[in-house]
Amino acid sequence: MELPHQDGVRRILADISLELRRGEFLTVVGPSGTGKTTLLRVLGGLTASTRGAVHVNGRLIDGPPADVVIVFQDYSHALLQWRTVARNVAFGVEGKVPRNQISERVRDALRLVRLDGHEDDYPWQLSGGMQQRVQIARALALRPAVLLMDEPFAALDAMTKATLQDELLRLRDATGSSFVFVTHDIEEAVYLGDRVAVITGAPGRIERTVAVDLPRPRSLELVNSKEFGALFDHVFHLIREEVTKSMEQQAMAATGH
């Protein structure tokens, strides 16, 4: 993956090979600046890859596909403050489904994120966690096969974040959608994921993918278990190992060795 840069062309991602299974929750974790958001934009058809290809159910992605939806981190800018919650959720499906189906889509999506009863509220009347639920509901109203999420809980407090993590896992089970969830938080990546893809370096590479063999449904008690701690340590050391290797390579290149 290469993008224009002031010094020419900068390579953002390299040698990325991923397969997302139907109904799988794949988390992508790594340091800042490794191309995590760029990867999501490529998967969502918002940024074209200069090499390789992305397919969904056998179809080549050459633009934003109807059944792949991205939820970004900044919910305050994603929501239309002058529209009610219901009309914000409807915004994504307007013009895409028959008008007589929009109300049903909105009602079902709000029920899934447990915001039924807030249809007539405005985003500015809601907490940060509830606003993020509205953004997720807008995505769910499209009934996507794949939901891409770019650090959606990063700006939330710890308790709200924990609650929404559990809600997200419940939504996966309720909808059957596949999830790709980008984060820099290793604990979050292990807690949510069926697999954790570790991305490091510049350009970013996915060197390892770790299977998360932990029971579901997940719970906060699980975080304190030996099994969870072992997986956390494994992913942490993978990231540190790759970061150290990358820094050594950059130092050797700078010195000409």
pLDDT for position 255: 66
Kindly state the tokens that stand for 11.
């390579």
pLDDT for position 18: 87
Residue range(s) defining the domain that contains residue 102: 79-143
Q: Are 130 and 191 in the same domain?
A: no
Q: Are 152 and 180 in the same domain?
A: yes
Distance, CA of 23 to CA of 93 (rounded, Å): 22
Q: Are 25 and 52 in the same domain?
A: yes
Q: Are 151 and 208 in the same domain?
A: yes
- Cβ-count burial of 114 within 10 angstroms (0-12 exposed, 13-18 middle, 19+ buried)? middle
In a domain, 249, yes or no: no
The CATH number for 11's domain is 3.40.50.300
pLDDT for position 246: 63
Q: Are 88 and 209 in the same domain?
A: no
In a domain, 212, yes or no: yes
In a domain, 90, yes or no: yes
pLDDT for position 247: 59
Distance, CA of 165 to CA of 96 (rounded, Å): 29
Q: Are 30 and 152 in the same domain?
A: yes
Q: Are 135 and 163 in the same domain?
A: no
In a domain, 131, yes or no: yes
- Which pLDDT tens digits describe the chain residue by residue (257 residues)? 444 444 556 678 888 888 999 999 999 998 888 889 999 998 998 887 777 788 888 888 888 888 899 998 887 778 999 999 999 999 989 988 899 999 999 999 999 999 999 999 999 999 999 999 999 999 999 999 999 999 999 888 899 999 999 999 999 999 999 999 999 999 999 999 999 999 988 888 898 899 999 988 888 889 999 999 999 999 999 998 866 666 555 555 556 65
pLDDT for position 134: 94
Distance, CA of 207 to CA of 173 (rounded, Å): 29
In a domain, 57, yes or no: yes
Q: Are 83 and 177 in the same domain?
A: no
Q: Are 9 and 41 in the same domain?
A: yes
pLDDT for position 95: 87
Q: Are 139 and 169 in the same domain?
A: no
- The pTM score is 0.88
Q: Are 63 and 8 in the same domain?
A: yes
Count of structural domains, the chain:
2
pLDDT for position 256: 64
User: Computed from CA positions of residues 240, 242, 245, 250, in that sequence, does the dihedral angle turn out positive or negative?
Assistant: negative
Q: Are 157 and 136 in the same domain?
A: no
